């Protein structure tokens, strides 16, 4: 007799937590995420279906395979993964578990998911993140991003948190974790609002105070750099080639 797993029919989709790296397409028009372990070579959208990473034709999650999306039940367990050196630049995701799933002691393996919230940790310097900047590595066609403050994001390909939420779509909310000296997360942007770093702000009701604050921080960083360059050019000896 073949044993079958007990069936569940929840009234609402279960909620899970996981970590992932935010990614931006090569042409800068699409935002997505990529996993930190199995399936990390396959970026996924905010609302997406799982595929078998081994190229098999069965539908995830197959009982005799480990394919499918993965998440844990406990948010603290997902946050603990961010302590490892290779995952420090990842973001924390809150997801809705959709479609077929297999429940395990610590989490789910499932067929379809919706990313509801992405929490970006502090910049590498300790300040609160206002943008996602080029992390220096990526996948074919995708540039991996990491949380960055306004100062550290300058000079690197980057997108504001609001801009990432807009490019990702599907109602994604982006939350900035507290930096040094700050307590708790703060909402930066919701899906449907936001612009890429350095671009002009669009007119309309989708832009609010959090988005304007994030963009103002980026613009201030650019202004500080410009003023430092002017000050350097004005120092004695800075134009030594024209003296004498």
pLDDT digits (tens, 9 = 90+) for 188-219: 455 433 333 333 333 344 455 655 666 676 67
β partners of residue 95: 16, 115
Every domain of the chain and the residues it spans: 15-233
- Please give the C-alpha separations between residue 10 and each of 49, 100, 107, 147, in angstroms, as whole numbers: 19, 11, 16, 35
- Which pLDDT score, from 0 to 100, does residue 195 have? 33
Q: Cα(152)–Cα(159) distance, rounded to whole angstroms?
A: 13
Residue-wise pLDDT for 149-194, tens only, equals 988 988 889 999 999 999 999 999 998 886 554 445 554 455 433 3
- Which pLDDT score, from 0 to 100, does residue 45 have? 97
- Which pLDDT score, from 0 to 100, does residue 41 have? 82
**Are 120 and 176 spatial neighbours (Cβ–Cβ below 8 Å)?**
yes
This prediction's pTM: 0.75
- Which pLDDT score, from 0 to 100, does residue 232 have? 77
Residue-wise pLDDT for 35-89, tens only, equals 998 778 889 999 999 998 888 889 999 988 989 999 999 999 999 999 999 999 9
**Which residues make Cβ contacts (< 8 Å) with residue 128, sequence separation at least 6?**
122, 149, 176, 177, 178, 179, 182, 186
Average pLDDT over residues 217-238: 70
Pairing of strands 47-49, 91-103: unpaired
């Amino acid at each position: 007799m073949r044993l079958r797993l007990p069936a569940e029919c929840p009234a609402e989709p279960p909620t899970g937590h996981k970590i992932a790296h935010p990614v931006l397409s090569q042409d800068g028009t699409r935002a997505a995420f990529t996993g930190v372990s199995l399936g990390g070579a396959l970026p996924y959208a905010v609302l997406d279906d799982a595929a078998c990473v081994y190229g098999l034709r069965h539908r995830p999650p197959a009982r005799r395979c480990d394919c499918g999306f993965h998440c844990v039940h406990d948010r603290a367990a997902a946050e603990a993964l961010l302590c490892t050196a290779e995952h420090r630049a990842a973001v924390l995701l809150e997801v809705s578990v959709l479609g077929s799933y297999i429940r395990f002691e610590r989490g789910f393996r499932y067929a379809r998911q919706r990313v509801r919230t992405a929490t970006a940790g502090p910049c590498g310097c300790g300040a609160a993140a206002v943008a996602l900047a080029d992390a220096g590595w990526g996948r074919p066609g995708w540039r991996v991003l990491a949380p960055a403050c306004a100062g550290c994001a300058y000079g690197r390909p980057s997108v504001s948190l609001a801009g990432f939420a807009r490019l990702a779509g599907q109602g994604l909310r982006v939350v900035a974790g507290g930096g040094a000296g700050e307590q708790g997360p703060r909402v930066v942007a919701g899906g449907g609002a936001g612009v890429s770093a350095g671009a002009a702000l669009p007119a309309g009701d989708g832009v609010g105070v959090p988005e304007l604050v994030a963009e103002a921080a980026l613009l201030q960083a650019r202004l500080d750099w410009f003023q430092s360059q002017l000050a350097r050019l004005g120092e004695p000896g800075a134009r030594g080639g024209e003296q004498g």
